[in-house]
Structure 1
Amino acid sequence: MKALNDLKIFIETAKQHSLSAAARNMDITPAAASAALKRLEAEVGTLLFIRSTRNIRLTQQGEQFLNYCEQAVGLMAEACSTISEGQAEFQGVIKLSMPSDCGRNILLGWIDEFMALHPKLEVRVQLSDGLADMYTQPVDVALRYGEPSDSSLVALPIAGGNTRVLCASPDYLAEHGSPVTPEDLVTHNCLCFALGDSLYNRWRFFHDSQEVTVVVKGNRYANDGEAVRRWALAGKGVAYKSLLDAKEDMLAGRLQEINIGREPESAPLYLVCASRRVINPQVQALKEFLADKAENYLAATSLSELR
């Protein structure tokens, strides 16, 4: 900030009663200090110093201006210090909603790590697979799969490359066989997610940019993603889960990925809020922390790399 630096040179010159001494103390050349004072005098439209070959002293206007400059520089230093401290040690409350399965089993652990770095932060968590009403509920931000249908909401990517994965337990596949095409899924017990009156039983896959949709059915529906995963682990059927939710179970062999020769549906994880004004430094830091954790998690190829 050149203007602020010019004010500092002015204050130091007034203090030292010497342009060369001020330049020496500020580790600049006398010519640079003189240029700064000339810029300042041009800006305020009056002489600030009376100069002679041997000394320099403030004019009456310079003395008045000095008082304001000292206050301004002091306030700026205080502001910079406050912002720096706020970045280093966040305080306040983040009210956060997150999906049940990924929230309980992955995100809560990551948030604990974030809070260990910022112990003065307070986090209030809601676990729900329903999108919280950002305008009426006590929620600042929500972590949700997929872009929100409400275009007025702000959505920032946490895990943009996340996809869904078709999976089942080894016991289920040993007993019922593994589907090899999307159409084979209609003969299997598919574990579906339901939310309100909506049943998510239209499973989408892609091949050569062409969408293939299969309407599946089964004897177990739940409005909780963790319930669906637990049924899959218990061998009750086939699930179409987020890779974030299922990866640890797959690496441990508790679930097996089913290859039907089609690409799975995208399932990006977003941080959603009602306005960009909600994205204060604490929320921005949390977003960046979670995005980094998610990237490393999805890239992991062994259980040890997940932890």
Structure 2
Amino acid sequence: MLRLDDLQIVVRTAELGSLSAAARALDVSPAVASGALKRLERQLDVRLFARSTRSLRLTPEGEQFLGYARAALQNLEEGQQQLAGSKVGISGVLQLSAPSDFGRNVLLPWLDEFQQEHPQLSLRLLLGDRVADLYRQQVDIAIRYGTPEDSSLVALPLAASNRRVLCAAPAYQHQHGELRRLDQLAQHNCLLYMLGGRLHERWRFQDGKRELSVTVSGNRVSDDADVVRRWAVAGRGVVYKSWLDVADDVQAGRLRVLLPELRGELAPLNLVCTHRAQLSKAVHLLREFIQRRCAELLVRKPWSG
């Protein structure tokens, strides 16, 4: 089996152009360095360096082996760093953006809990429904519904199976009657959401293998998803929202799911960043934490499957 210290001798000798210089850099005697090189050449059954009294250069076989030796040492170093990092807490500043409703009413208490577990970590939270420009804004990651339109961004799933659900407050149902069919939405006040100037007035569902859609209308529109949810809780109309946003309201009885036999459209929640190099230990831990919390909410989902 090859010895790591022998690989180090080869790499440093190639870098410094001298066996004696490599010995000094590694704090071993020239005799030890020479012995390590000879031992490795015997094991590989090749000559790695062409040596004379005045010069030393890599042979073609040595050039080929050098890349593997460097990669092996680099992989070991990265492994040591990861193990060392796992033994210490995370610190520094983590900057993230999140949707208004999910951020204020779901994520905020989660972040409190996460920061209690990692008190050396500082958070900078930006809330809003407009998609953050990760190349310009000072954020490390964004939490967003749906797949990013920019294919150059890295999107990691937080809740891939999340869906939208149709909801209304008990007070609204009491006043306007129970919704029994999808086409009856035309007779109800639907609370609408607008993003980037686009009104989301076409609501899509699945009934088994059938795709259903309905165009709705109402007397209230907002570009803030939290406002739309608050209107629904106040009994102002019917809302079509991400289950993650309304799960606690449904659990507490503030909202009721309508037509639960229909499956709302997918609303996957993702963690988005510009490059995988931004996936620090803090980001990985936060992602795992949010995934667990989302899974707990999805256990209570009203749709089957």
Identify the TM-score tier after normalising by the shorter chain: 0.7 to 0.9
Q: Distance in 2 between matches of 1:123 and 1:295?
A: 23
- Kindly state the Cα deviation for residue 170 of structure 1 after the two structures are TM-superposed: 0.5
Q: Distance in 1 between matches of 2:172 and 2:267?
A: 25
Q: 1:192 to 1:80 in 2, by over 3 A?
A: same
Q: Which residue of 1 aligns with 2:154?
A: 154
- Kindly state the Cα deviation for residue 279 of structure 1 after the two structures are TM-superposed: 1.2
Q: Distance in 1 between matches of 2:230 and 2:6?
A: 66
Q: Distance in 2 between matches of 1:78 and 1:186?
A: 60
- Kindly state the Cα deviation for residue 178 of structure 1 after the two structures are TM-superposed: 2.0
Q: Distance in 2 between matches of 1:87 and 1:157?
A: 26
- Kindly state the Cα deviation for residue 287 of structure 1 after the two structures are TM-superposed: 1.0
Q: Which residue of 2 aligns with 1:218?
A: 218
- The answer to whether the 8 A contact 1:101-1:225 is kept is yes
Q: Which residue of 1 aligns with 2:22?
A: none
- 2:155 alignment partner, SS class: strand
- Kindly state the Cα deviation for residue 181 of structure 1 after the two structures are TM-superposed: 1.8
Amino acid in structure 2 at the alignment position of 1:109: P
Q: Which residue of 1 aligns with 2:269?
A: 269
Structure 1 outlier segments of 4+, above 4 Å: 5-8, 36-41, 43-46, 76-79
Q: 1:78 to 1:139 in 2, by over 3 A?
A: closer
- The answer to whether the 8 A contact 1:207-1:262 is kept is yes
Q: Distance in 1 between matches of 2:181 and 2:228?
A: 22
Q: Distance in 1 between matches of 2:211 and 2:135?
A: 35
Amino acid in structure 1 at the alignment position of 2:235: G
Cα deviations by residue, 1:110-143 (Å, 9 ceiling, x for unpaired): 1222222222222111000111011111111111
The range that moved more, 36-45 or 105-114, is: 36-45
- The answer to whether the 8 A contact 1:87-1:281 is kept is no
Q: 1:261 to 1:114 in 2, by over 3 A?
A: closer
Instruction: State percent identity of aligned pairs.
Output: 46
Cα deviations by residue, 1:226-278 (Å, 9 ceiling, x for unpaired): 11111011110000111111111111111111016421111111001112121
- 1:88 alignment partner, SS class: coil
**Residue pairs, 1:1-307, within 5 angstroms:** 3-4=3-4, 40=40, 42=42, 80=80, 84-85=84-85, 88-259=88-259, 261-300=261-300
Q: Distance in 1 between matches of 2:266 and 2:119?
A: 35
The range that moved more, 87-96 or 280-289, is: 87-96
Cα deviations by residue, 1:165-211 (Å, 9 ceiling, x for unpaired): 10101010111112222211111100011123111111111123332
Amino acid in structure 2 at the alignment position of 1:110: W
Amino acid in structure 2 at the alignment position of 1:268: P
- For this pair of structures, how many residues does the alignment match? 246
Amino acid in structure 2 at the alignment position of 1:222: S
- The answer to whether the 8 A contact 1:181-1:260 is kept is no
- 1:189 alignment partner, SS class: coil
TM-score, L = length of structure 2: 0.72
Q: 1:85 to 1:272 in 2, by over 3 A?
A: closer
- 2:250 alignment partner, SS class: helix
- Kindly state the Cα deviation for residue 81 of structure 1 after the two structures are TM-superposed: 6.1
TM-score, L = length of structure 1: 0.72
Q: 1:123 to 1:175 in 2, by over 3 A?
A: same
Q: Distance in 2 between matches of 1:139 and 1:87?
A: 27
